[in-house]
A and B are shown apart, each in its own frame.
Chain A
């Protein structure tokens, strides 16, 4: 009887949506970045599979359906970019240069630390895109030949770290300008950082959401180049 349930893609879809709903409710109650729904939902599902000894392949019959929506959702990222394009037109050079410098700093620091800590190449490749939004990061990892699941976790942890310590960093470095704060949060910690940037103010949030897409495009180009260089 259980075979029939597990073989049905609806099984994986149901437990994913159930775990996600519970996790989102938890996050909305606590508002604490560490309870990011991606992380909590994944942990709940993994525990469920382990406790009932269910094979990952059964789960992914449904999971694959959900993953399919990633590509159209990434295309939809163009909409917030389009909505904020007037800000880009106003400060084009400042915004583009800041994001290029920031993205380079992210990629180069990952390569340097990975070498220092003697990480295998495949892992380093999976971490190169960690500062950009997950759909683009996963795509970069696919192109470079890393492990996508590692990338997703690194991206989420980056966002959480940025949201928690970002405001402190900005205060210590006396970065008070709304444009600078938004760019730093969006380039360094993608969407999770952006939700924090919206707490600073409307301008910070808008610039941060603009940075998500731009940093993604810039990192797509820079990551393979810098990876070959170093």
Chain B
């Protein structure tokens, strides 16, 4: 597969996802729909990893670059930032601690229950 045909497969999947997401009542946004579609294509072996691998890895490696212009738009939000910047930082900091703690503790508890049940069965 050439890089270009790999890219073609990826953008056709992306566009299909966007089109599906535009159907009234469709519950998911376009990009996520495209991602799930790609996962299904791979799982059903309609396309193999070799058909998309190199271009996908290239796009993923550059992912941070694609956001830079969106962040630059922040210059239009000076008012929001000067008014709420500190509050946003506080929220980000605390909620990140909460999310990491709760996720980790949930897994720890589930693994504990799973192992206890396994021990009983043995």
Chain A positions near chain B (C-beta within 8 angstroms): 12, 16-17, 19-20, 36-39, 41-42, 45-46, 49-50, 56, 59-60, 62-64, 66-67, 69-83, 85, 93-94, 97-99, 101-103, 105-106, 109-110, 113-114, 117, 119-120, 123, 127, 130-131, 134-136, 138-140, 142-143, 147-150, 152-154, 156-158, 161-162, 165-166, 169-170, 173, 175, 177, 179-181, 183-185, 187-189, 191, 193, 213, 216-217, 220-221
Contact = CB atoms under 8 A, between A and B. Distances in A.
B94 A138 contact: no
B59 A80 contact: no
Contacts, number: 293
B20 interface: no
A143 B29 CA distance: 7
Interface string B90-111: 1111111111111111111011
Which 7 residue pairs are nearest across A and B when measured between Cβ atoms? A63-B69, A102-B103, A184-B104, A188-B100, A78-B38, A180-B107, A76-B56
Contacts of B66: 66-67, 69-70, 73, 135
B73 interface: yes
Q: Chain B interface secondary structure, helix, strand, loop or mixed?
A: helix
A131 B89 CA distance: 14
A69 B31 contact: no
Given A82-B39, A94-B111, A149 B65 contact: no
Given A70-B31, A101-B102, A101-B106, 15 more contacts: A38-B67, A42-B72, A70-B67, A77-B35, A79-B57, A109-B98, A113-B91, A119-B91, A139-B30, A143-B29, A152-B71, A153-B71, A157-B89, A158-B96, A220-B29
Interface residues of B, number: 72
A150 B32 contact: no
